[in-house]
Amino acid sequence: MDATANRIANEFIARYEAAWSRGADAAAKLYTADSVLVGYVTAIGRPAIVQLLSGIIAQGWTSIKIKVVNIRNVGDVILLANEYTEIGSGPNAGKTLHATASHVLVHADGEWLSVLHTAR
C-alpha cells in the first residue's frame, strides 16, 4: 500500500469523524462543490449533500466511527473503502447502525476532498 495514500485516507477519515459530530454543514465541507453522494437517495452538489446529511443527523445519528477496509491510489485519486458505525442519540440513543461506504478522494482547493461517496 502506498504510504502517502494511506496517510491521506486516514487523515480524511479522522477529519470526517470529527466534522460529523459538528453537523451536516461541517461534514459537507469535506466534499467538492460538485460532489455526488449516493446513499438511500442521490445528492449532487454540496447543498444537496448538506440536506441529506442534515436529515440523517436529525434522526439522531450524531456520531460516526469509520474503519478503513481498503485504500488504493489510482492516478490522481485515492479510492477508500470503509465500514462505518453511526452512533445514535436522542430518538436513537443506545442504538448503532453498521454499514459500508466508499469515497473517491481528489486534491481540490488545497486539501483532499470526496468527489464521490457511496454509502449503504
pLDDT, tens digit (0-9, with 9 covering 90-100), for 79-101: 999 999 999 999 999 999 999 99
pLDDT, tens digit (0-9, with 9 covering 90-100), for 36-74: 999 989 999 999 999 999 999 999 999 999 999 999 999
Per-residue pLDDT band for 1 (boundaries 50, 70, 90) equals: low
Name the class of domain 3-119.
Answer: alpha beta
Please return the burial class of 47, using the count of CB atoms within 10 Å of its CB with bins 0-12, 13-18 and 19+. exposed
Handedness of CA 47, 53, 58, 63 (dihedral sign): negative
Pairing of strands 111-119, 61-74: unpaired
Three-class secondary structure of residue 4 per DSSP: helix
- pTM for the full model? 0.94
Contact 120, 38 (CB under 8 A): no
